[in-house]
Structure 1
Amino acid sequence: MLSSFYKFPLNTSDIVSKKEADRCDLSASISNFIRLIMTSQFGECAFDDSFGSIIWEMDFDNLTSNQKLKNIITNSLLTSIAGKETRIKDLDISVLIIEDEFEHLYDQFRVKKRLEISLRAVIRATNEPFSFYDKFYIAPLSY
């Protein structure tokens, strides 16, 4: 079994110049792949239209309640991650939506929704617990 994986993002200039690409461990590789699933739009991957999550489609949805939005995103992530990341099992995902207010130009305020995503699972190969946490803003999507 492979014990090291390519680090994401992949530095293609190293590969082209025949240098060894940066590597990471199994846990970091799984985290990178989950992050890629979360931030990819359905249909963006040319060879697999089901790769990604619904987050992009919900990016500018201001009419759906936060609770309904949370359920839609949670279900999409559960389906996508369980189907695409086969190195983990017993997946449990928690999504929290928080509205943050930012001061904009001339004392105007802007509200953005922050997604906080926590994930717990078990790594199949080692039977070790795995946890993942990430947060980012939607409307528009940003880190």
Structure 2
Amino acid sequence: MTAPGTCRRSEGAASSGSWSVHGTAAGLLGTRRCEAWLSRRPDTRALTGPDLDEGRGLADEVLSTVTEFNGILDQKVTVALAECVRVSTPDLAFRLLLQALSIKSAAMFPDAVNVSEAQYARLEALGRAFHYGEFVVGDVEHLTE
């Protein structure tokens, strides 16, 4: 997986040399900067294994999970996350969902967001499916009831 704002080769791109800025609003300018930087680096390696997988096969599960939090998160947020699943990548949408839960909880303190144990178990299962390390989903474990 690639951290937001980092350069990475785009899956399904027009050529194997295409790269993009992942997870930012930098858009075309960011993509061009990323491509220019990478073109100056002869040691740039192609991505392999889980780094190539953007979770396309998990889109339905991520979309279902986003929808499940519609009552907890603002509707505008869940609509944007659902759009992210469809237009960008399920991986990015899921990471943003986890961040949105943390941010919403912090904004509501001390009346923090409550995530049921069943919801958390589904988040953990998705995290494993995305090959995340233990702390990515674990960052919202404190929200469980």
More helix by share: 2
* TM-score, normalising length: structure 2: 0.29
Give 1 or 2 for the bigger CA radius of gyration.
1
More strand by share: 1
* TM-score, normalising length: structure 1: 0.30
